C-alpha cells in the first residue's frame, strides 16, 4: 500500500488529500476524504474503510 500511495503522490506532485470526517469502529476506521490537485482539476470525494492490524493499515476499501 505504501508503494502505491508513494507512487501516486510522486507522479502527481500537487495532489492533496483532506479528511472530511473520521469514525472508528474497533480496528476499522471509516473516513470521508476529498482529493484535489489532479492536472485536469478533477475533485475526488470518497468514502474509505481502513482495516488496522498490528498498528498498520492491512486493508483498504473505497466507496
Per-residue pLDDT tens over the stretch 10-39: 999 999 999 999 999 999 999 999 999 999
Better-predicted residue by pLDDT, 8 or 50: 50
Can you give the pLDDT at residue 2?
82
Can you give the pLDDT at residue 44?
95
User: What is the distance, to the nearest Å, from the Cα of residue 62 to the centroid of all Cα atoms in its chain?
Assistant: 8
Grid cell locating 1? 500500500
Beta bridge partners of 46: 33
Task: Look over the chain and give the mean of its residue pLDDT values, rounded to a whole number.
Answer: 94
Query: pTM (2 decimals)?
Result: 0.80
Find, among 37, 28, 34, the residue nearest to 60 by Cα.
Answer: 28
Amino acid at each position: 500500500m505504501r508503494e502505491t500511495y508513494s507512487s501516486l503522490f510522486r507522479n502527481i506532485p500537487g495532489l492533496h488529500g483532506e479528511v472530511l470526517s473520521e469514525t472508528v469502529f474497533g480496528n476499522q476506521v471509516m473516513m470521508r476524504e476529498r482529493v484535489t490537485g489532479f492536472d485536469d482539476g478533477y475533485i475526488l470525494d470518497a468514502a474509505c474503510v481502513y482495516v488496522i492490524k498490528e498498528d498498520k493499515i492491512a486493508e483498504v476499501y473505497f466507496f
